[in-house]
Structures are given as C-alpha cells and as structure tokens.
A and B are shown apart, each in its own frame.
Chain A
Amino acid sequence: MANVISDETIEYVGILAKLELSEEDKENAKKDMADMLDYIDKMGELDTDGVEPMSHIFPVRNVMRDDVVTNGDGSADTLKNAPESNDEAFIVPKTVD
C-alpha cells in the first residue's frame, strides 16, 4: 500500500529531528519518506510472530569500572572547539527569562 505522509506528520518529524524545513523541503521530504516507507513495508511480508527482537548480535552486559580520571583536565582544549565560550563555559542563547 502506498504510504502518504501528511503535512502534520512531516511537521512533527521536523520537530523530532530538530530541522527547519522550507515548504519545498517539506514537499520533497514527504515524497522521499513515502517512497522509503513503501520500500521498508516489504518487511511486513515476513512472519515474525514469536521472534525476539535482536538489538545486539552478542550478549551484552553493563561494563563497570571505577570512575578514575585517566586523561587529565581537557576543558581548555575542549572549549577551543566551541562556537562561543568564555574561560570556563560554553555560551548559548538565553534559555530562561
């Protein structure tokens, strides 16, 4: 069945993905996503009842270790990459009034 992506859906996806979409972007995204979902829907042909979803290939467990600093204080170097910073912090637009 052909998927149709509504304006509301693409608006919502834009919010989830934190992307600003122009009207043209939205129209393209609607078509791209519908095509892709039509294709992905092929998975529906497979009977997966009773199949356990596999998120990891191998059994994984939490890996615990003591919280010991081994790489020193890299804050000054780290801040060098910031678009905007002062001596000790990243600077972002005001978030609370």
Chain B
Amino acid sequence: MSLLDLTATQLAKAIKEGRTTAVEAMQAVIEQIENKDKELNCYVTFDKEAALEAARKAQEAIEAGTLTGPLAGVPVAVKDNMCTKDVLTTCSSRILGNFVPTYSAEAVIKLEEAGAVIIGKTNMDEFAMGSTTETSAYGVTKNPWNTAHVPGGSSGGSAAAVAADECFFALGSDTGGSIRQPASYCGVVGMKPTYGTVSRYGLIAYGSSLDQIGPLCKDVTDCAVIMETIASHDLKDSTSIERHDTDFTKALVDDVKGMKIGIPSTYFGEGLDSQVRKTILDAVEVLKSKGAVVEEFDLDLVDYAIPAYYTIASAEASSNLERFDGVKYGYRAKDYEGLHDMYKKTRSEGFGPEVKRRIMLGSFVLSSGYYDAYYLKALKVKALIKKAFDQAFAAYDVIIAPAAPTTAPVLGSSLSDPIKMYLGDIYTISLNLAGLPGISIPCGFDSKGLPVGMQIIGDCFKEHNIIRAAYAYEQARGAFPKPDGKKEAH
C-alpha cells in the first residue's frame, strides 16, 4: 500500500508512531506532482526544495517532541487566494503575478501550528470568480477523473489536488459554492463552515459578507479534524465569531436514528440532471435505512438566490478590488500618462474578462440611481432567503440537496455563456447568503464515470449535525474509488 492511500488523519498517526516520516510523506506527494501535475495543473506555485525543507524541519520538531498537533507532518495545499508569508500569492491573476505577502493568513497559521506542512499554492478562478477554474491567468486545471472535463471552481486546483493525491488535504474558499461544487466534481469531501467560524484575515477578499475558508479532503474524519484546527476567534477579523462548540470530531458518530432530514423538492426539480438526482436520492435512502426520518418539503425562493448573489457579490467585489491599482503591490502598467491613467491601464491589463465583468456590474448596482433597485433589493431578498431557511431548520436537523445540477462539464463549454455558468451555482449559493454551513460528500457516479456530490446543509452553528450525517453515510458507503481505480484506504 502506498503512503498516498492514507488520509491526513491516518498519516499524522503513522508519523506520530514512527511508521513513516513527514519527509517520506512529502517525497510521495512530490513524486505524484512530478508525475501528474504537467497534465492536471493543480498548482500555481510549487517549490520542491522549500517543501522538502519544511518537511525536514517538521520531522525534526516531531522527533524532538515540540510538534505534536493533530496534523503534524501532513503535507497540505493552499488555495492561492490565501496569503502565505514569503511565498508567491497570485489569486490566479496577472495583477498579483509578483505578489509575495509579508504575513500568512490566520487559517494558514492555524494549520502550521497543528503541524501541517505547506506543499504549494493551488490554481483557482481569478479572484475566485468562476465555477470551472478556467478564468485563471495561469492555465486551466483538469479534472483527475477525466481530463477533458473541468474540476469545478473556484477552488478547482485544491479539489483536483486532493483527488489526484497531489496533497493529503487542501484549503479552499467558498463564496457561492467554490469549495462544495469542485469537491462534488472531483469526488472529494469539501466543507464550507458557518460564516465567521474561520478567520478571513489574509484571505484576499472577493465578497466579504459571503467568503469563508474551509477544507477539501479525503473523508469526513479529515474534514472534522481540519475544521477543528482552522476554526478560531480572531481579533484581526471583525466578523470572526467566538464559538465554544468547535469540537467537530465529537460529531464523528455513526448514528442518524431519529435525525430529521428535509428534502427540498424545489432543489430536485427542473434543471437537475436525472442521473445526479437518482444518485443523491439513493444516498438519502441509505440514511433512511439507518433510521433517519426523511421528508420532502418546499423551500421557496431558490430562483431568486442567484440574482441576489450576483448583485451582492459583484458589489462587494467592485469595492474590494479597488485596492489593486499598481501602487503598493502587484502589476503596474508600463506606459501611462499620470496617476489616473496608470490606475486604469494597470487594472485593464491586470484583470481578466470575468473579473472586469463583475467589477463593472458591481460598480453599476452601487451607483447612484440604481442602488435601491438592485443592491438594496438584493439585501432584502437575502433577508427573505434567510427567513425561509430559519423556517426549514425549525423542522429539520439537516437539509439534503445536490451540490451541483450536473457532473463536471467539458472544458471550454462554460465561459461563453456566463449566466448559464452562474446557474450551476444554484444549489450552493443560498448557503452563502444565509451564512449556513454545508458539506459535499461523494455518493456515486454518472454514466460517464464522473463523481456526484451530495450536499448536506445545516443551520448556522450546526456543523455537528452535518458531520454526523455525512460520517454515518460514509460508513455505509464504504471506500470511494480513486480516479486511477485504486481503492481508498478506509
């Protein structure tokens, strides 16, 4: 059995017990990257020597007894929109092509404190704006299950790296589904925590009221362990929440007897691929057979979530991305006449088309005369969506839905029609508007052999319910196959 078959938690245990080392684990990952990443392009930045050196240091500290965290020695990949001190952080944009942060994101620091060793930075849609990882300025990432297909996005590099064993786990960020949707497309576990659970300090902002960092990993146990590690109350993020219930591994219990599961019929109707529907409903049957109480219900407003999301996210993006002006960091245009011309040329040359599209839309919906009709209206729709979920969670412990309407689309088929691409986020986006946590867990395949993800949604601060349901399902499902046909160790 290869080291790569181990989950992050199993690897940490093996290192702790002296059965392997952090260096061997990193070497295994490096070999995999060297074999596979030319084709898959999961990484934007990968420095082999630096990764090995970091692993050596971790191993020394483990042997000296000073590094004892739950992820000690485990190689991790970090999405390239999280700052990493002294390591290039591009957001997959030309405008940050030479940006080397002077500090690390809080979530990255928490991982390092737990002993994880950074391999490199993963590819993403530029500034996390996209659903396929095709808007990256550094090339597309391919889906390890079928390289003619996208890995999803925007955390596509992270999801593909986990699926292809180019890391043991990864961090992603989720503004409208950017962890859960690529997790679904790549057959891995991905979780977006309740808004405010993981500090956004050092996460390059897209839609600040929606952005949340979370794990992409091999199984639900890893997910709980990583969540415990990265959740923190951080004074450097004013939206960070002080929680005393972040003992997520306590929820790893194989028992869903009496758990009330709501199935929103509106999420299983028109627009959902029939094979995806069947695969998820079969997985729900598994939970039912283990004693969960499953009921269909109507969750309204699903059709209004995408319009509200793109209004709010674009508005926040237009404001957040004003900082990229060629003065303090990043790209600056070569030829310009005066300050304003420099700003405009820098931004026009530095940003890709999707980013410009959203900045312009955001500027428009915030502009005088349109603010009430669009931005304010969207905030009211958001309030109604939150209320609909509040009502649902008065009756159910968790809600189960697809993570995406289809399996991974073919490369090159999405960007020509932005609204069609945005519709792919229909089942994930409401959670960001309402701040809710959600997980995507692989539950089967379509006839093309592409993985399907089941999304389990919880009320705010109820990650425990999600993890318990996902864990119980995973125990019944057994090992999920890997792209190259190997069985995952379980």
Q: B-contacting residues of A (Cβ < 8 Å)?
A: 9, 12-14, 16-21, 25, 29, 32-33, 35-37, 39-46, 48, 51-58, 60, 62-63, 65, 71, 74, 77-78, 80-84, 90, 92-95
Contacts and interface: CB of A to CB of B under 8 A. Distances in A.
Nearest to A93: B339
Contacts of B377: 43-44, 48
A43 B383 contact: no
Chain A interface helix/strand/loop/mixed: loop
Contacts of B43: none
B200 interface: no
Nearest to A21: B348
A54 B380 contact: yes
A46 B380 CA distance: 10
B374 A40 contact: yes
Interface of B: 98-100, 102-103, 195-196, 209, 235, 238-239, 241, 301, 303-304, 306-308, 310-311, 318, 322, 325-332, 336, 338-345, 347-348, 351, 356-357, 359-365, 367, 374, 376-384, 386, 418-419, 434-435, 460
A7 B378 CA distance: 26
Contacts of B327: 82-83, 90, 92
Contact of B310 (A9, A25, A40, A94): A40
A17 B318 contact: yes
A44 B303 CA distance: 12
B379 A17 contact: no
Contacts of A81: 98-100, 102, 328-330
Nearest to A83: B332
Contact of B460 (A13, A57, A71, A78): A57
A71 B103 CA distance: 10
Contacts of B195: 57-58
Given A19-B347, A21-B348, A57-B434, A94 B367 contact: no
B383 A53 contact: yes
Contacts of B328: 78, 81-82, 90
B339 A95 contact: yes
Nearest to B195: A57
Given A13-B367, A83-B327, A83-B330, 13 more contacts: A18-B340, A18-B344, A36-B310, A40-B378, A42-B304, A43-B304, A51-B380, A53-B376, A56-B239, A57-B196, A57-B209, A58-B196, A81-B99
A13 B238 CA distance: 30
